[in-house]
Amino acid sequence: MEKSIDESFAVLTAHFTKSLAIEPMAPEGYSSLSLALIGDAVYDLAARYYVMSGGDRSVNQLHRMKSKLVRAEAQAVAADRIADGLSVREMAVYKRGRNTKTHTAAKNADIISYRKATGFEALVGWLFLAGRYERMMEIIREALRMDYE
């Protein structure tokens, strides 16, 4: 019997928790930037997996393809696309992340795109830590389906 996305991610996070001897993490205990940190990692892994699904290529090609998907401008576009479909709680998490003042400047993005990307990553991180994996993957699928060429 095939496992659902929720079951698969639950097994993975249970392995992390047990193998690393850490307590389960509740998203409410973390700042927006901390949520964005884990959301960035989850989204980056999904983007890497997505570009590799197109077949074997040079690492340089795969990196360039992945970079187009995870750059701030692409995440800002994704955030704009998903905004209308967010619940009130999801929108609050996104806005809190978007409006958080950061101490770093974006290297290759304007400040508006950078903040939207931070909000997007915070939302992905919040969904991940909340165990809402199906919803997280809906949002990631929507972001990755966009053509950035």
* 123 pLDDT above the threshold of 60: yes
Given a cut of 70, is residue 88 above it in pLDDT? yes
Where is average pLDDT lowest: 4-18, 32-46, 60-74, 88-102? 4-18
Count, in order, helices (H) and strands (E) of the chain: 7, 0
**What letter does residue 103 receive in the DSSP assignment?**
S
3-state secondary structure of 126: helix
146 in Cβ contact with 110 (< 8 Å)? no
Mean pLDDT check: name the lowest of 14-18, 56-60, 85-89.
Answer: 14-18
Q: Between 52 and 4, whose confidence is greater?
A: 52
pLDDT at 6: 63
Two structure tokens written together for 142: 């929507």
Residue 27, pLDDT score: 86
Q: Read off the pLDDT of residues 42-65 as tens digits, 9 standing for 90 and up.
A: 999 999 988 888 888 888 998 888
CA distance 65 to 7: 29
* Residues forming the active site: 40
- How does DSSP classify residue 30? S
- The pLDDT confidence band at residue 148, using thresholds 50, 70 and 90, is very low
The per-residue pLDDT for 122 is: 97
State whether residue 26 is helix, strand or coil: coil
